[in-house]
Amino acid sequence: MGRFSRPPAAPAVILLLLVLAAVFAPLIAPHDPEQQSLLMRLTPPAWVQGGSWRYPLGTDGLGRDVASNMIYGLRVSLLAGIVSVAISVVLGGVAGLLAGAAGEGWFDAVLMRLVDIQLSIPVVLIALAVLALTGRGLGKVILVIGLVGWAQYARLVRASVMAERQKDYVLAARLLGASRLRVIFRHLLPNVLGPLFVQVSVDIPRAVELEASLSFLGLGVAVTTPSLGLRIAQGYQYLFSGAWWPSVLPGLALVLLVLCENLIGDWVRDVLDPHYRRRRKPGVPPAPATIESTVP
């Protein structure tokens, strides 16, 4: 493992700061993110001419403080990323464990066909359709992102269980009289955790981006929720009159968050994925790039 045993310093520190800012948003944010002051609308950031330190990053078209909205927006982004991936893990994990433990048969065949179908339709399209029909709201967005993410986990956990159950220790456990459920949870599950964790570290930034994209399209959170994607969409119309800060600054916050999460995810994969680690010896090519793309 050597140089991969420590997380990359800069992304780790920045991510920690972003998480802290999100958690303590009410203490840090200079203003109420919802508070509008129409007299101060489109005030530029403090360092630009015409800006004031009362609004360090300026105000948007409704006179809301951009900095406060970014801090609260991080909260929404992190919440959406973590909770939705947790839903996917539980759903897909249970389905995959059951399919893997049941072995080849009709249950496994049906489940894997469903996984194939789900994976062949872009997640964004499904989420858009569901949200358009059910209406928007943060809870719904999180639920939808969680629901459409199950397939990857089902496939991953099933493959791991299938591989592990062939091994001698499982046979030994069965021979010792362990029940089927005990074998699953006590013996198979711990061995699946590594790849599961790698997938989670890849999926959290994806979920964050997906929430932002859906909110940007107007089918995500409610209009009053300070989501980064929604604020970018609302600030976008002022771009053409030269007011770049209401859309560009929340966008940069989003990119910073996702970038740090991706870099940490890369590190998690280096540490946990033995396949990848083995191939990173000098002169040997790294593992092939992941073929599933992120959120569009």
Q: DSSP string covering 185-239, please?
A: IIIIHHHHHHHHHHHHHHHHHHHHHHHHHHHHTTSSS-TTS--HHHHHHHHHTTG
Of 78 and 188, the one with the shorter C-beta distance to other proteins is 78
CB-based contacts of 123, cutoff 8 Å, min separation 6: 145, 148, 149, 210, 295
Query: Could you say whether residue 240 binds other proteins (CB under 8 A)?
Result: yes
Q: How far is the CB of 32 from other proteins (least distance, A)?
A: 25
DSSP state of 90: H
Q: List binders of other proteins among 162-221 (CB under 8 A).
A: 205, 209, 212-213, 216-219
Amino acid code (one letter) for 288:
P
Query: Could you say whether residue 19 binds other proteins (CB under 8 A)?
Result: no
Of 175 and 284, the one with the shorter C-beta distance to other proteins is 284
Piece in contact with other proteins (CB under 8 A), picked from 61-69, 125-133, 166-174, 188-196: 125-133
Of 28 and 259, the one with the shorter C-beta distance to other proteins is 259
Q: How far is the CB of 56 from other proteins (least distance, A)?
A: 21
Instruction: Tell me the C-alpha distance between 64 and 179, whole Å.
Output: 60
Query: Could you say whether residue 263 binds other proteins (CB under 8 A)?
Result: yes
Q: How far is the CB of 68 from other proteins (least distance, A)?
A: 20
Instruction: Tell me the C-alpha distance between 296 and 294, whole Å.
Output: 6
Q: How far is the CB of 136 from other proteins (least distance, A)?
A: 11
Instruction: Tell me the C-alpha distance between 110 and 120, whole Å.
Output: 16
DSSP state of 36: -
Query: Could you say whether residue 274 binds other proteins (CB under 8 A)?
Result: no
Query: Could you say whether residue 106 binds other proteins (CB under 8 A)?
Result: no
- Residue-level length of the chain: 296
CB-based contacts of 53, cutoff 8 Å, min separation 6: 46
Q: How many CB atoms lie within 10 A of CB 158?
A: 25
Of 198 and 263, the one with the shorter C-beta distance to other proteins is 263
Per the DSSP assignment, residues forming a β-bridge with 59 are: 65
Query: Could you say whether residue 268 binds other proteins (CB under 8 A)?
Result: no
| Residue in the block written with tokens 């970018």 | 232
Contact characters 132-151, other proteins, x per CB under 8 A: xxx-----------------
Q: How far is the CB of 148 from other proteins (least distance, A)?
A: 12
Which three-class secondary structure state does DSSP give residue 120? helix
Query: Could you say whether residue 262 binds other proteins (CB under 8 A)?
Result: yes
Residues that bind other proteins (CB under 8 A): 116-117, 120-125, 128-130, 132-134, 205, 209, 212-213, 216-219, 229, 232-233, 236, 239-240, 242, 244, 247-248, 251, 254-255, 258-259, 262-263, 266, 283, 285-289, 291-296
